[in-house]
Structure 1
Amino acid sequence: MKFSLFKTLWGHNDSIASGALLAQEAGFQGIEAPASINPDIFNQLANALDEYQLDYICEICTAGSYVPDRHATPEEHLADLDRKIKHAKSLNPRFYNVMGGCDAWPLAVQIDFFKRAQEVADKNEVICSFETHRGRSFFNPWVTRDVLEQLPDLRITCDFSHWVVVCERLMDSEWDIILQAAQQAHHVHGRVGYDQGPQVPHPAAPEYAEALASHERCWQAIWAAQKNRGYDTTTMTPEFGPDGYLHCLPFTNAPVADLWEVNRWIGDRQRNNFEQWATSSNNTR
């Protein structure tokens, strides 16, 4: 099994082409970003992917931005999903990473929504991977578990940093659910959360070593499950980001870390960790 890294454009404030160049120089295999409805930005993304020969993961938020429209119906979410899948198809995404649904829906509505969302993906002949994200349907481990038990073919993107802050604890306490989620994990967002926030100031800081180690145990469980399921490649997007995630100093609002340096650090570390894990896994077969 191979390991592929994708650079998020979230928090990248320069041109798309410059982001693609950074990804290529860092040995990343692709870009993860929305397909803008602005034709000029859409074409910039298309040109950058082609020029730098990068793979693409299309990010979709249904019925709103990262936080959904609280009053949007499941039908509106599904229509938005279908529209955004079609819009991005010419970019030939490897798959679509979907922040879908709403945290406030009852469980029966959640299950029905994801059943129909998978039907939308199947109708469009694409792969959708649904993210564990605050504000969205998969905002905590237990709702996610209950939906996955009913829909065993659904694919998910595991960003466990969201669960850590929602639950106010590292996910070792929910290891049975981590192992269950790993069986349906398609993609990983490589961000480290801690009990009071979705993003540590810097994952290399020794005061957050326990949080880093916990997330790495979760990611390794996903690699093992994907290998057993026959995956030839595992994908990760290091996704430390701005917008309240990145710690800043009071009054000056000066960031405490450089986002690309942090994302490159976590990417390089996990690439090395994967190589060590793969070697160990092959030697113990």
Structure 2
Amino acid sequence: MRLKRFKTLWGHNGSLTDAVKQVKAADFDGIEAPVPNTPEEAEAFGRTLTENGLLWIQEVCTAGSYVPRRDASISDHLNDFEARLKLAETTGLVPEFVNVMGGCDAWPIEDSVRFFTEAQNIADRLNTPVSFETHRGRSFFSPWNTIAILDKVPHIDVTCDFSHWAVVCERLPHIEWESILRTAQQARHIHSRVGYDQGPQVPHPAAPEYAEALASHQACWEAVWQSQAERGLDYTSMTPEFGTDGYLHLLPFTQAPVADLWSVNRWIGEEELAHFDRWHSAAVKTSKIA
């Protein structure tokens, strides 16, 4: 099993050409991003990735942006989901899979189960692999909601962004270990952002004052890798996803960022490649995984 790494375009202020240069310089495998806004931009996006030999994870949010419209019905979410999956055709690319921020945190469990069941049916009909993200504001906003839903839809894939759970639960994610292990059983992808008990993003994961938070997330990521190896996956994937929009810490009055966003994402990408290699070597020796 190998690790594929993807650059998020969330918080990227330069051109697509700039992003491609960063991806290749960091030896990442591709880009995670939504379909661009116009057909012309989408076609250019697909052509650029193809010419540079890069993979693509499509990003989809149902019924709104990262936080859904509160008045949106299950049907609204499903219709939006299907329409956004079909948009991928405008790029001329076939995504590795689609990362989905879906559902609503305020729904009863049975409504979320209906949404994920029908969404997976849509994805199967369109022959499009999808993975549903653990995310605040969405059905998988907490470990307890997630487990209750996954027990009823054991056939769907999950993108694990445990930084959201850190702030929702106000404790580091490894403390909810049973929930981590259960979610790992259906995990496909990781968003490698490090949260802490009062926020979804530490100022810099290399800072010694956040070593405990980093170690907590790394333990959870290892649980995902172990499950994936036991399930026989050929590769695991990860998107370093430190971002802007209230996530990146800013100095008061000047609003100057405390760290360079791409430097942080590149650092965690390099750190996790080395971490994965260490974990994989040890796992091969002890359990003969591939």
Task: Give the partner amino acid of 2:112.
Answer: Q
Greater mean deviation of Cα atoms: 39-48 or 112-121:
39-48
Deviation at 1:20, TM superposition (A): 1.2
- Aligned pairs for 1:229-240 (under 5 A) are 229-240=231-242
Aligned mates of 1:185, 1:118 — CA distance in 2: 15
Consecutive unaligned residues of structure 1, counting only runs of 5 or more, are none
Q: Secondary structure at the match of 2:204?
A: coil
1:23 maps to what in 2?
A: 23
Give the structure-2-normalised TM-score: 0.97
Aligned mates of 2:200, 2:72 — CA distance in 1: 26
Give the structure-1-normalised TM-score: 0.99
2:41 maps to what in 1?
A: 41
Task: Give the partner amino acid of 1:211.
Answer: A
1:8 maps to what in 2?
A: 8
Greater mean deviation of Cα atoms: 46-55 or 71-80:
46-55
1:76 maps to what in 2?
A: 76
Consecutive unaligned residues of structure 2, counting only runs of 5 or more, are none
- Aligned pairs for 1:1-150 (under 5 A) are 1-89=1-89, 90-150=92-152
Deviation at 1:37, TM superposition (A): 2.9
Aligned mates of 1:156, 1:41 — CA distance in 2: 29
1:217 maps to what in 2?
A: 219
Task: Give the partner amino acid of 1:70.
Answer: R
Q: Identity rate of aligned residues, in percent?
A: 56
Aligned mates of 2:48, 2:271 — CA distance in 1: 26
Q: Secondary structure at the match of 2:151?
A: helix
Q: How many residues align?
A: 285
Q: Secondary structure at the match of 2:5?
A: strand
Deviation at 1:5, TM superposition (A): 0.2
Aligned mates of 1:39, 1:17 — CA distance in 2: 18
Deviations 1:129-165 (A, max 9, x none): 0000001110000010001001111100000000000
User: How large is the Cα RMSD of the aligned pairs?
Assistant: 0.8
Aligned mates of 2:125, 2:3 — CA distance in 1: 29
Q: Secondary structure at the match of 1:284?
A: helix
1:227 maps to what in 2?
A: 229
Task: Indicate conservation of the 8 Å contact 1:21/1:52, yes or no.
Answer: no
Aligned with residue 154 of structure 2, among 152, 155, 164: 152
Deviation at 1:38, TM superposition (A): 1.5
Task: Indicate conservation of the 8 Å contact 2:163/2:173, yes or no.
Answer: no
Aligned mates of 1:51, 1:14 — CA distance in 2: 19
